[in-house]
Structure 1
Amino acid sequence: MAIKLNKILVLITACILVTSCKSGFEEMNTDPNKSSAALPEALLTSSLWDVVSRNNTRALRLTNELMQVHVTTSDGDEIHRYVVRPGESDYMWNNWYLQLTNFRDMYQRAKDLNRTTHMAMALISDVYVSSLITDTFGDVPYSESNKGREGSYQPKFDTQQSIYLDLFRKLEEANTLLTTGSVLTAEQIAYDPLYGRNIPSSVATATASTMVINSWRKFGNSLYLRLLLRASGRPESNAAAKISEIVDTKASTYPIFTTNDESAVLKYTMTVPFTSPFNTYRVFDFNGDNGLSEFFINTLNEWNDPRRPFWANLSGGTYIGIPSGYVRGNVPDRQSTYTTNLMNAPLLGNIMNYAELQFILAEAAVKGYIAGDAKAYYERGVNNAITFWSATVPSDYLNNTFLAWNSADDEFYKLEKIHKQKYYTLFFTDFQQWFEYRRTGHPVLPKGAGLQNGGVMPSRFKYPVYVQSLNSTNYTAAVAAFGADDMNTKMWWNK
């Protein structure tokens, strides 16, 4: 299964270089990367690394501050006070759409070559990125997007409902394709950034190919459950019935994660091309003026959580957080900060893991969507969230008053318990903490006296300013249908 290192590094580096960010909508939509001529596996490697790495930097800058993982001690930075400036949108919009072009080119190229496995990988990656775009902005270009080479520079905005329904369709197609996926060569396996490159070279190629195909199939169906649960509050989505079908009535048709090892993680290394986006940061660049929050640290202290030394530095011999949303002028002194080991931590490349899936199933069980035992799902999630980080679960951990499952609790308290655990499972996982908080209101976060925006968590990010001028007709139509282009307009799935 070995592949010549120079060949793979040159190809991957070339792919990364030709997918650089463009500043305008038309340029972004017609990125001159000539990716239609690239092999599907090369497009997958570079594009998925780019998406995950850029998501990590936005988690550090935006998600972790909005969701009280850390708090800035720079008084002028007000993200923790729910002030998100419109300029923040450009970076995500540009790069997500750029890589979405590559995933769609990958699908078409794989189809031309009759590589059904790579077609499915492209579809799952497309769904992953498309869901990030719509869950961040709402109604967005989708069915007409990424068609610059066809002369389409002003795509219409699709409704989030229609986007979600098509994401479900794509995941169905991916699952079907992978039931009899095309066999992968040793070289193609080595290019797979999620599963293939972690398989020992001693494993026979045919066996390794089956392992990769099965892992991607489980990833696609687990991602399907994430998105179905997000849409489950809307009856027209038929999401609750589909969750039941996947988990209960047709489980053999829809395999999902069964262990931590099957989690979708782009594991960073200290060697190019799979280095962490923080690999070249100075320690100050990574921690900046950030101190871990009271909510983040106090909860871990209540649990006596074994993940603390992986994530947080001691301050004066203990773990101490600082308040989020503090009043301007009342800047607290930093206490515990991120460990420097996180800058190159392999698991920071998490896309979706087994513990998250268990918490999805726990919520589905609480709400009656599936027949399983919510307590069992919850406890598997708790245990695997810890062992995911190679920490040891204390023998009495689940007996902790703050952690123990109580079947007599009402739905609110059960969901609070599930989502507080899920919050930590989604540590540095793009915008998922924020998406889930907007959907559920869990975990309950403290409200600082200095919060702006009426003390209400932003529901979305505004569209990039240049979209208003370069695609004004469709932008205007979208705003008329979706709602005002401000931070407080809700998504279809939580209206």
Structure 2
Amino acid sequence: MKNVIFKLTTAVLMGSMLFSSCTKDFTSINTDPNATPIALPEQLMAPALVSTLSYNMLRNRNFNNELMQVTVDASDAEGKVFRYDYRATWADYLYNGLFLELTNFKDMYKVANDPLTFNPSYKGISVICQSWIYSILTDTYGDIPYFHSNLARDSAVYEPPFDAQKDIYMDIFRQLDSANVWLAANQGINGGNDPVFNGNVGNWRRFGNSLYLRLLLRVSGKAEMSEFCRTKFKQIVDSYPVMTSNAESAILRWTGQGPYTSPLINVREQDFRSPGIASFFIDNLSAWNDPRIDIPTYGTSNINRWGIAPYSGSYQGIPSGYAPGENPVKKCYFYSNTSAVSLMTEPMTGMMMNYAELQFILAEAAIRGWIPGSAQTYYETGAQNSITLWLPQWAVPIKNFLAAADIEWDDTLSFEDKMERIHRQKYYALFLVDMQQWFEYRRTGHPILPKGAGLKNGGVMPARMTYPVYVQSTNPTNYKLAVARQGPDQISTQVWWQKP
């Protein structure tokens, strides 16, 4: 018996020693010394940018463009956005997609802030991208999860509270101030994984500060924000670097290679050309003899820079908001061809913010008396660069073009007429820039859009998207609190910065 116990004990001891020798330094032995167990910031950055722009571009195409009379998806069916006929299913896509990408940008920040992989430039870029995304989300839905969003994995926060839009904006401003400081260090980044600025940290800083100006203007109509916005706006213009040319515009230029392929190429060609060009969008350009539609640029065809083919020798649109039964004829549309040049393959459609938009922001600030300088100069520079962004070789003096089109600057105009002049040009500078046309119209009422007899929602432009339906069941307590604070979960409920 003693021999049996001795043998068993010896076997256990030997087994323990064997197990110990097998598991000793297991982690170090099974970790590749030439690889990192976590993704580096540059590995996270490009995929997150591509995915974010994909969500923005598709909603720009089928939601923003329909509301803002760029296109008309002509039909008498229900649920047509151009009639302000909103279906709850519209809510999910942008909400889900952008919150998903926020996780990637937050991971990028976390790694860039780790002592082993510390890089202030990637921290700044991450914060700018998060601010850009959060601003789109809150301007689309109103109050949203912000301070406790995207914490389910790390902190088990499965039902995040919805934060007030004012609090969100004030923190975005704080974050953008931090990004400006971090990027001033100008620590290098991997240009091969930066599809927007190819590793130019200074341009990321200029984008962040230009975005800051966009967002200050967005909330400046609130009496409680007016003085802060005015003071901060001037400080940035005086002291922070901002965009100074089209070359510094924040645009992910699609190459068609690998991941840098435009998401528009995945839209079926027949679906891409199905919506007609809206009268408002095309009539202005036609009346101005605008080179973006007036100069064929694709070989010897009549297809112009924005891929719009003329109809019977001229550019004609379809009225938006028409009543069911009127059945207007579709004339011009965005040309579709995945094997030739069109907006489906156009490299420039990955718009985040461009230099022309900044100039129109400065023009508005000038007529409000926030900054010194000539509103006319900003206006003309914006108009010039809005065109040359698409047609770099266009060399007509901008004053001549504006005068011939009868849209030159006039200091004798009223404030509202100056706003209309600025925002009609800004409307075209914001072409393809996520939902910015819609946001700016909701803020200013400009440009003045014609209203068809078929509009729903009392003929009033929708003020927001509703929250996704599933939020009511997955986060019911915080959903109810948000609705109680903000107002009914309807498209007619204004977000904080819209309310008087």
Q: TM-score, normalised by structure 2?
A: 0.86
For residues 60-79 of structure 1, the aligned pairs below 5 Å read 60-76=61-77, 77-79=79-81
Partner amino acid, structure 2, of 1:381: G
2:172 to 162, 167, 171: 167
Aligned-pair identity in percent equals 48
TM-superposed CA distance for 1:402, in Å, is 3.0
For residues 118-267 of structure 1, the aligned pairs below 5 Å read 118-149=122-153, 150-184=155-189, 188-196=190-198, 212-237=200-225, 238-248=228-238, 251=239, 254-267=240-253
Residue of structure 2 in register with 1:206 after alignment: none
Residue of structure 1 in register with 2:13 after alignment: none
- Residue 343 of structure 2: SS of its match in structure 1? helix
**Alignment partner of 1:310 is 2:311:** no
For residues 319-338 of structure 1, the aligned pairs below 5 Å read 319-338=315-334
Q: Distance in 2 between matches of 1:183 and 1:93?
A: 33
TM-superposed CA distance for 1:54, in Å, is 1.7
Q: Distance in 2 between matches of 1:452 and 1:235?
A: 31
TM-superposed CA distance for 1:282, in Å, is 3.2
- Residue 72 of structure 2: SS of its match in structure 1? strand
Relative distance call for 1:393 and 1:424 in structure 2 (3 A) is farther
2:447 to 438, 443, 449: 443
TM-superposed CA distance for 1:74, in Å, is 2.2
**Which structure has the greater CA radius of gyration?**
2
Q: Distance in 2 between matches of 1:305 and 1:411?
A: 25
Q: Distance in 1 between matches of 2:131 and 2:160?
A: 19
Q: Distance in 2 between matches of 1:335 and 1:393?
A: 30
Partner amino acid, structure 2, of 1:461: M
Q: Distance in 1 between matches of 2:291 and 2:405?
A: 16
The unaligned stretches of length 5 or more in structure 1 are 1-34, 197-208
Deviations 1:440-491 (A, max 9, x none): 0000000001111100000000000000111000010111111111001112
- Residue 425 of structure 2: SS of its match in structure 1? helix
TM-superposed CA distance for 1:264, in Å, is 0.2
For residues 464-479 of structure 1, the aligned pairs below 5 Å read 464-479=468-483
Partner amino acid, structure 1, of 2:316: I
Q: TM-score, normalised by structure 1?
A: 0.87
Q: Distance in 2 between matches of 1:181 and 1:130?
A: 25
Q: Distance in 2 between matches of 1:134 and 1:111?
A: 26
TM-superposed CA distance for 1:146, in Å, is 0.2
TM-superposed CA distance for 1:280, in Å, is 3.2
The unaligned stretches of length 5 or more in structure 2 are 1-35, 294-303, 337-341
Q: Distance in 1 between matches of 2:74 and 2:131?
A: 37
Residue of structure 2 in register with 1:37 after alignment: 38
Q: Distance in 2 between matches of 1:268 and 1:155?
A: 35
Residue of structure 2 in register with 1:91 after alignment: 93
TM-superposed CA distance for 1:36, in Å, is 9.2
Partner amino acid, structure 2, of 1:310: R
TM-superposed CA distance for 1:37, in Å, is 2.2
1:356–1:426 Cα contact (<8 Å) kept:
yes
Q: Name segments (4+ residues, structure 1) moved above 3 Å.
A: none
Q: Distance in 2 between matches of 1:261 and 1:233?
A: 31
Residue of structure 1 in register with 2:112 after alignment: 110
TM-superposed CA distance for 1:406, in Å, is 0.3
Q: Distance in 2 between matches of 1:218 and 1:125?
A: 13
1:277 to 247, 256, 263: 263
2:180–2:208 Cα contact (<8 Å) kept:
yes
Q: Distance in 1 between matches of 2:138 and 2:363?
A: 25
Q: Distance in 2 between matches of 1:458 and 1:60?
A: 17
Residue of structure 1 in register with 2:361 after alignment: 360
Q: Distance in 1 between matches of 2:497 and 2:374?
A: 26
- Residue 442 of structure 1: SS of its match in structure 2? coil
Q: Distance in 1 between matches of 2:416 and 2:406?
A: 15
**Alignment partner of 1:295 is 2:280:** yes
